[in-house]
Amino acid sequence: MILVLLGSLLLLLFSTVPIAVSLALCTISVFSVFYSGTAMDTMLAQSMVTSTDSFALMAIPFFMLVGTLMEKSGIADKLVDVAKIFTGDKPGGLGMAAVLAAMFFAAISGSGPATTAAIGGIMISAMGIQGYDKAYSGALVASASTIGPVIPPSIPMIMYGVTIGVSVTEMFTAGFLPGIVMGITLMVYNYFLSKKRGYKGSVVANSFKDKMRTIKSGIWAMIMPIIVLGGIYSGIFTPTESAVIGVIYSIIVGTFIYKTLTWRLFKASLIEAAITSATIMILFGGANTFGRLLTIGKIPVLVTDAMLSLTQSPIIIMLLVNVLLLIAGMFIDTISSIILFAPLFTPLMVTLGYDPVFFGVIMVVNLCIGMLTPPLGGNLLVAQRISQSSFESILKETLPLIGVLCIALIILIIFPGIIMFLPNLFGM
């Protein structure tokens, strides 16, 4: 059964069949060969539909809609303006503003490519005017946008929580500080590189009065993550309910306060969010059934036994798993990787004494780095298109940034308290 399942999946993937379709077809092949006409056949077929019937998964289309509404209505512009006044005209100031703006937007959208599109569309051209190399500008924004799925809300963390059965709220809480660590490491690298190349910030809002005016203009955009995340952490509403609140807030602010959200932009936002969400749901249905077949074939147990037969060292096994995830991130998108590999590696990590929430955050951070690595590299491709730079030049600028993010990943692994501090603080 496992040979048919994995063999058909690899064959379909190498034939460039979309991952969602490949997962569905390979599970159907197993139905036909091994379970045709049995109760198992019906159960597995139904699981492709029932697995998406989850209240927690309803957060995904709403968070996608929040991101598109803020991008298209110009609310993201306000976040960028606020980020600029915190960085000033110091060496690399505008680059640090791009990272900070990506962190602000990450607390709203939960998607890496969406953050790249929203922040890149504003910051890359502004950085070019200040003398930044366009390839470096695109690479920095793409790298900063990997923080999007780490700082809550996070679509990959929702998928991990639903797949493994851990609290999505706890995953959100654990992801906050790692996202800050990633942002700080990128800012440090940007500062020293900018000092070497002579990149500066944007000379805006010099006076205290100008800064207060900018903050006042962007206050409604800044309140959004406070409402969404504050409501989740305080227990006032669930992550799914917070996503709905975020949509309503975006509509009200975009329509009545900033007056930039038109009916045409609203319809475009609905369509874009619906298409992206539908793709994710189809993918989850096929991948969830794929995971059940792996469980039936006892693949997680075999993986655990194989790893433990090589070494008993938790550190070495963690290193091996992270290398495998980094390689997987080059070829498979983040959500697909989580659904495919979380059921395989999480039991192993728990056996070694790691908390499933800790490993979930490490897995998300690891796979987010894959958004920068070709051939898939969703963030990289979006940033290349916006910056209008050649693939070779933007990749050259991205490689050191990948190394910086890997350093951040190593820091999180060595000091697990960074991840678990807030969950432990709130008694989760």
Q: What is the pLDDT of residues 131-153, one digit of tens each?
A: 889 999 999 999 998 998 898 88
Please answer whether residues 246 and 63 qualify as being in contact, where contact means their C-beta atoms are separated by less than 8 angstroms: yes
Domain that holds residue 331: 56-261+297-425
Does 26 map to a domain?
no
- Convert the pLDDT of each residue in 282-316 to its tens digit: 777 776 677 677 767 777 677 777 777 878 888 88
**Cα 411 to Cα 419: distance, rounded to the nearest angstrom:** 10
Q: How many residues does the chain have?
A: 428
Does 22 map to a domain?
no
| 414 has a pLDDT exceeding 90 | yes
Does 124 map to a domain?
yes
Q: How many structural domains compose the chain?
A: 1
Hey, what are 393's tokens? 């030049």
Does 380 map to a domain?
yes
Does 41 map to a domain?
no
Hey, what are 201's tokens? 């910030």
**Cα 269 to Cα 404: distance, rounded to the nearest angstrom:** 34
Nearest to 7 by CA among 27, 37, 34: 27
> In percent, how much of the chain has pLDDT > 90?
23
Specify the pLDDT at position 43. 64
| 403 has a pLDDT exceeding 70 | yes
Helices and strands, counts by H and E, the chain = 20, 0
**Cα 248 to Cα 138: distance, rounded to the nearest angstrom:** 32
Does 100 map to a domain?
yes
| 159 has a pLDDT exceeding 90 | no
Instruction: Provide mean pLDDT across the span 84-110.
Output: 78
Work out the angle at residue 174's Cα, subtended by the Cα atoms of residues 172 and 180, and round it to the nearest 5 degrees: 95
Q: Which amino acid is at 211?
A: K
| 51 has a pLDDT exceeding 70 | no
| 421 has a pLDDT exceeding 90 | yes
**Cα 386 to Cα 390: distance, rounded to the nearest angstrom:** 11
Q: Which amino acid is at 311?
A: T
User: Which region, left, alpha or beta, applies to residue 237 given φ > 0 means left and ψ of -120 to 50 means alpha?
Assistant: beta
Please answer whether residues 393 and 124 qualify as being in contact, where contact means their C-beta atoms are separated by less than 8 angstroms: no
Entry pTM = 0.79
| Confidence bin at 88 (pLDDT 50/70/90) | low
Distances (CA, A) of 126 to 109, 123, 200, 385, 398: 22, 5, 11, 16, 19
Does 267 map to a domain?
no
Give the number of C-alpha atoms closer than 13 A to the C-alpha of residue 216, restricted to the C-beta side: 7
Please answer whether residues 169 and 425 qualify as being in contact, where contact means their C-beta atoms are separated by less than 8 angstroms: no
Does 8 map to a domain?
no
Nearest to 59 by CA among 230, 227, 245, 225: 245
| Confidence bin at 82 (pLDDT 50/70/90) | confident
